[in-house]
């Protein structure tokens, strides 16, 4: 699922080789389809800064934290064809 990947790759980038390690898990997914998706579809997520902040909060607090990320799908005419809301949960692993 390209929408999940557009959010997940941001999350993975922020937890890669973190100490302590941070686990991530999708806890909810919502989708809204606005137009028939034909041709190449590009999914974009602009929540990188918010993802970084929530991961830092999870590490500092030692508690699980969640964030709803928005991934928007665009067709080749740059029209919005779908909007996905992917909720990720993060928790620092304690030794």
Give the DSSP letter string of 55-82. HHHHHHH-S-EEEEEEEEEE-TTS-EEE
Omega before 68 within 30 of 0, i.e. cis: no
pLDDT at residue 1 in the model: 75
Does the model's pTM come out above 0.75? yes
- The topology (CATH level 3) of 2-92 is Thiol Ester Dehydrase; Chain A (3.10.129)
Q: What is the pLDDT along the chain (95 residues), one digit of tens a residue?
A: 788 999 999 999 999 999 999 999 999 999 999 999 999 999 999 999 999 999 999 999 999 999 999 999 999 999 999 999 999 999 999 86
pLDDT at residue 11 in the model: 96
pLDDT at residue 47 in the model: 97
């Amino acid at each position: 699922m390209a929408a999940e990947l557009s959010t997940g790759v941001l999350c993975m980038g922020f937890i890669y080789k973190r100490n302590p390690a941070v686990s991530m898990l999708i806890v909810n997914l919502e989708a809204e389809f606005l137009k028939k998706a034909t041709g190449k579809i590009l999914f974009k997520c602009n929540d990188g800064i918010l993802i970084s902040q929530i991961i830092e909060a999870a590490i500092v607090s030692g508690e699980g934290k969640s964030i709803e990320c928005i991934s928007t799908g665009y067709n080749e005419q740059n029209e919005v064809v779908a909007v996905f809301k992917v909720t990720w949960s993060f928790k620092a692993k304690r030794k």
